[in-house]
Amino acid sequence: MIKEFIGNTPLRKDEYLSKKYKANILVKEEFYNPGKSSKDRAAWFMLEDAINKNKIVDGGTFVEASSGNTGISIALIASELGYKSRIFVSSSCSEEKIKLLKKYGAEIERCDNSNGLHVFNSTQYLAQNYSSNHPNTYFTNQYYNSNNIKANYKTTGPEIWKQTAGKVTHVIVGVGTGGTISGLGRYLKEQNPNVKIWGVEPNNSVYELYMAGKNIPDTEINFDSIEGIGRTFIPGAFDRKCVDKIFQISKDDTIAMAHLFRAERQDLLGFSSAAVLATLDRYVEEMELKESDVVVLFFPDHGSRYINKLYKDFAPITELKGNYNASI
Ligand SMILES: Cc1ncc(COP(=O)(O)O)c(C=O)c1O
């Protein structure tokens, strides 16, 4: 049963990063999940809940709006359980993810944007519309499904607590729907209210504004496109009480970090993982980390999902805006 293989991913101390940033830096390696991303967790909880509550019957179709990873997880788990899937992806979705979705048997709908249920032609609008008009389909609606938070409250948070023997002091995690940060943040703060839960979003995304109590502009919002993170609206899956701070990072800094990591470590960071590491690098002074701190970087997937987007042209690293120091 696929459920047994979801979660319990490694939390690895990265000696190189620990030395570089003068704190204990641990990486939560979510690409060890069967669908190769953290979104297996939320997908499992959403599908299991719908099946248990008889919202869909055998052979039915799960419908979701996803930049890729949630869709991949749903397609994989649905097919294992004898269901179909139909995934509404935004135009920015990587070719690797589209190919994987097809391999897992998903039907794919490409949409203009993923700007929320209230926006015509968005992935969410079209997914809901499709589900409303087709019997025996279920729209998992990750942006508003409480199982998205619950999955991370029940699994990711407890894993991090146990794997650090309660010593975790900070978690830095990308924010898309908000399910991961809210679920793991809620659990960890219940264990120790002093744990800092820091989110990462692309420049011009709206979470930072929201955290500062400012209004989200009515005008069209164009945030830096970093696959998996950032929003133009605040989804129900984001719980501000579980979050201490949101940092913003640019796409350029994120790509530069991905290339630097490849050059220095011979490994490929996922797009949003690169954003998390670029954020640590850029704001490390402001973060005022102590040597005894235990900092968990949440890496939702792996760079192998972004070969065309991030690593096709192994361009030399010419200009790095952040505090990128290759020599340690
Ligand atoms: C690569 C990647 N990073 C980060 C996230 C954000 O996670 P969440 O939606 O739980 O905020 C996602 C979500 O799909 C993702 O696919």
Q: Atom 13 of ligand 1 has which residue's CA nearest to it?
A: 228
pLDDT value at 326 more than 60: no
Each residue of 150-172: pLDDT tens digit?
999 999 999 999 999 999 999 99
- C-alpha 123 to ligand 1 mean position (Å): 16
**What pLDDT is recorded for position 319?**
47
Strand stretches in the chain, DSSP E: 11-13, 24-29, 61-65, 84-90, 107-111, 137-139, 170-174, 196-202, 245-249, 294-299
Cβ of 179 below 6 Å from ligand 1? yes
Cβ of 70 below 6 Å from ligand 1? yes
Question: If 0-12 CB within 10 Å is exposed, 13-18 middle and 19+ buried, where does residue 63 land?
Answer: buried
pLDDT value at 240 more than 60: yes
Cβ of 180 below 6 Å from ligand 1? yes
So which residues are the catalytic ones?
39
Nearest Cα residue to 78 out of 39, 103, 106, 108:
106
Contact of 184 with 42, CB cutoff 8 Å: no
pTM of the predicted model as reported, rounded to 2 decimal places = 0.93
| Residue % of the chain over a pLDDT of 90 | 85
Nearest Cα residue to 210 out of 233, 237, 229:
233
User: Average pLDDT for residues 184-190, to the nearest whole number?
Assistant: 98
Cβ of 201 below 6 Å from ligand 1? no
**What pLDDT is recorded for position 148?**
98
Each residue of 210-234: pLDDT tens digit?
999 999 988 888 899 899 999 999 9
pLDDT value at 90 more than 90: no
Each residue of 247-272: pLDDT tens digit?
999 999 999 999 999 999 999 999 99
Each residue of 19-56: pLDDT tens digit?
999 999 999 999 999 999 999 999 999 999 999 999 99
Each residue of 127-147: pLDDT tens digit?
999 999 999 999 999 999 999
Q: Atom 16 of ligand 1 has which residue's CA nearest to it?
A: 228
The least confident of 23-32, 163-172, 173-182, 304-313 is: 304-313
Q: Atom 12 of ligand 1 has which residue's CA nearest to it?
A: 228
| 66, 180, 198, 305, best to mutate for ligand 1 pocket (most atoms within 8 Å of CB) | 180
Which ligand 1 atom sits closest to the C-alpha of 179?
Answer: 10
pLDDT value at 80 more than 90: yes
Taking the CB of residue 161, how many other CB atoms lie within 10 A of it?
19
- C-alpha 300 to ligand 1 mean position (Å): 7
Confidence of residue 1 (pLDDT cuts 50, 70, 90): confident
Q: How would you write 101-151 as a 3-class SS string?
A: HHHCCCEEEEECECCCCCCCCEHHHHHHHHHHCCCCEEECCCCCCHHHHHH
Which ligand 1 atom sits closest to the C-alpha of 272?
Answer: 3
Nearest Cα residue to 49 out of 76, 30, 77, 71:
77
Which ligand 1 atom sits closest to the C-alpha of 173?
Answer: 4
Cβ of 300 below 6 Å from ligand 1? yes
| 38, 76, 153, 234, best to mutate for ligand 1 pocket (most atoms within 8 Å of CB) | 38
**What pLDDT is recorded for position 34?**
97
The least confident of 67-71, 80-84, 162-166 is: 67-71
| Residue % of the chain over a pLDDT of 70 | 95
Tracing tokens 């640019």 back to the chain, one arrives at 250
- C-alpha 327 to ligand 1 mean position (Å): 31
pLDDT value at 317 more than 90: no
- C-alpha 229 to ligand 1 mean position (Å): 6
The counts of H helices and E strands in the chain are 11, 10
Contact of 264 with 239, CB cutoff 8 Å: no
**What pLDDT is recorded for position 49?**
98
- In the chain, what are the domains? 2-32+150-311 (3.40.50.1100), 39-139 (3.40.50.1100)
Cβ of 235 below 6 Å from ligand 1? no
- C-alpha 292 to ligand 1 mean position (Å): 29
- C-alpha 1 to ligand 1 mean position (Å): 24
**Taking all residues of the chain, what is their mean pLDDT, rounded to a whole number?**
93
